[in-house]
């Protein structure tokens, strides 16, 4: 018998949201871990909010919504609110009932900025890393470190001489600018859109961009990010931040740290050894006849099989950067200011770890 094509359903629904999500859905594992981490941060949330006035968006629901935005590559908060309005899976993950209204996008952004400024993202990442289900997946002895550029939400037209002045020509708001014959540097110029952004290029032959620099410390067993930092872009940012990240997690133990050729400097290797770590840095030595360079890593390190293993595994850190940029929307950040972009970057690292947990936890040991 052919069924009827009815355009309207029943007036009431007695099916709970919990029963509509499949029992084996990957987000069930993620939600369980996220809820336990957020419960441990309840005291932090309590200190951020006043005990008087109208209730704001619960920080737990706001953070779950931001994680969904990274998981599903939702490009804006307005589109996120639209998805929350009709997507049952999203409502279930965030903790909204069927009849609960969604928030206004502007109100959501203002509440989001409050959490980002309070460095809640770093505490969320740390909570995920130390969670009992995650801790067993991590290596405590072998790490890798690297950095990447995060393009700022500012155009090259905004990079102007310090002290004001305008050389725009033509009518309209977005007027033409002539850069010919102008020498620009971070010492003499700054962006009027985002003063924290710096003009930087990754290497020779690459274009200069207004950007920040993101840094990640990855454990080598499953390639999860155990810590991260975002700084202004400059030549010494990568080794200095790497030393800081390693120092947080070395804990006086003998650990190995893999890195690419850019870290093969005498100062960086010396600093790592003073921390009690073994630098498994790729050798950057050459002899072209006109120029010669010796590596700071010698045969005492490279003769061990662990060095070759670190060199293979360290390249997986590019998977972290690739996901953060392509899926979590940090190929070009939409926020301005060092602190806000840093929190967005750290939240994306937490989301990367969480999205990989269902498969890692389901894999046979």
How many percent of the chain have pLDDT more than 90? 68
Q: What's the pLDDT at 287? A: 75
Query: What is this structure's pTM?
Result: 0.92
Average pLDDT rounded to a whole number, residues 261-285: 93
User: Rounded to whole angstroms, how far apart are CA atoms 27 and 85?
Assistant: 19
pLDDT digits (tens, 9 = 90+) for 312-327: 999 999 999 999 999 9
pLDDT digits (tens, 9 = 90+) for 54-100: 888 999 999 999 999 999 999 999 999 999 999 999 999 999 988 89
Task: Band the pLDDT of 293: cuts 50, 70, 90.
Answer: confident
The Cα-based distances of 348 to 183, 230, 240, 276, 340 in angstroms read 36, 12, 22, 30, 12
For tokens 């750290």, the residue is 346
Q: What's the pLDDT at 288? A: 77
One of 3.20.20.450, 3.30.300.30, 3.30.420.10, 3.30.390.50 is the CATH number of 140-153+210-333, namely 3.30.420.10
| pLDDT over 80 at 41, yes or no | yes
For tokens 């540097």, the residue is 185
Q: What's the pLDDT at 280? A: 96
Q: What's the pLDDT at 126? A: 95
| pLDDT over 80 at 3, yes or no | no
Q: What's the pLDDT at 282? A: 94
Give me the helices (H) in the chain, please.
17-20, 26-40, 42-48, 59-71, 77-86, 88-94, 105-117, 120-129, 132-135, 237-250, 266-274, 299-302, 305-313, 317-326, 338-362
User: Rounded to whole angstroms, how far apart are CA atoms 22 and 8?
Assistant: 25
Element (H, E) at 147: strand 142-151
Task: Band the pLDDT of 283: cuts 50, 70, 90.
Answer: very high
Ranges of each domain in the chain: 17-118, 140-153+210-333
What mean pLDDT is reported for the chain?
90
Q: Which two tokens stand for residue 201?
A: 């290029």
How many percent of the chain have pLDDT more than 70? 91
């Amino acid at each position: 018998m052919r069924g009827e094509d009815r355009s309207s359903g029943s007036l009431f629904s007695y099916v709970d949201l919990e029963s509509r999500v499949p029992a084996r859905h990957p987000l069930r594992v993620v939600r369980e871990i996220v809820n336990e981490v957020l419960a441990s941060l309840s005291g932090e949330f309590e200190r951020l909010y006043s005990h008087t006035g109208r209730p704001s968006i619960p920080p737990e629901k706001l953070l779950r919504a931001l994680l969904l935005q990274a998981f599903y590559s939702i490009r804006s908060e307005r589109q996120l609110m639209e998805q929350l309005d009709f997507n049952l899976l999203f409502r279930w993950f965030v903790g909204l009932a069927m009849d609960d209204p969604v928030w206004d996008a502007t109100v959501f952004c203002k509440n989001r900025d409050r959490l980002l400024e309070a460095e809640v993202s770093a505490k969320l990442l740390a909570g995920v890393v130390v969670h009992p289900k995650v801790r067993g997946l991590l290596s405590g002895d072998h790490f890798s470190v690297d950095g990447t550029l995060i393009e700022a939400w500012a155009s090259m037209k905004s990079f102007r001489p310090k002290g004001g002045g305008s050389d725009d020509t033509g009518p309209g708001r977005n007027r033409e600018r002539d850069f010919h014959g102008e020498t620009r540097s971070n010492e003499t110029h700054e962006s009027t859109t985002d003063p924290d952004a710096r003009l930087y290029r990754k290497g020779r032959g690459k274009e200069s961009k207004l950007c920040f620099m993101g840094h990640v410390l990855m454990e080598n067993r499953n390639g999860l990010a155990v810590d991260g930092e975002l700084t202004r872009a400059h030549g010494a940012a990568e080794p200095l931040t790497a030393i800081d990240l390693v120092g947080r997690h070395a804990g006086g133990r003998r650990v190995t740290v893999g890195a690419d050729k850019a870290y093969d400097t005498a100062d960086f290797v010396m600093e790592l050894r003073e921390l009690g770590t073994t630098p498994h840095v790729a050798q950057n030595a050459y002899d072209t006849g006109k120029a010669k360079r010796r590596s700071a890593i010698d045969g005492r390190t490279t003769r061990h099989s662990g060095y070759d293993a670190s060199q293979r595994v360290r390249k997986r850190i590019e998977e972290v950067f690739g996901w953060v940029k392509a899926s979590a929307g940090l190929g070009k950040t939409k926020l301005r200011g060092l602190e806000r972009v840093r929190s967005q970057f750290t939240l994306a690292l937490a989301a990367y770890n969480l999205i990989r947990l269902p498969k890692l936890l389901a894999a046979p040991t």
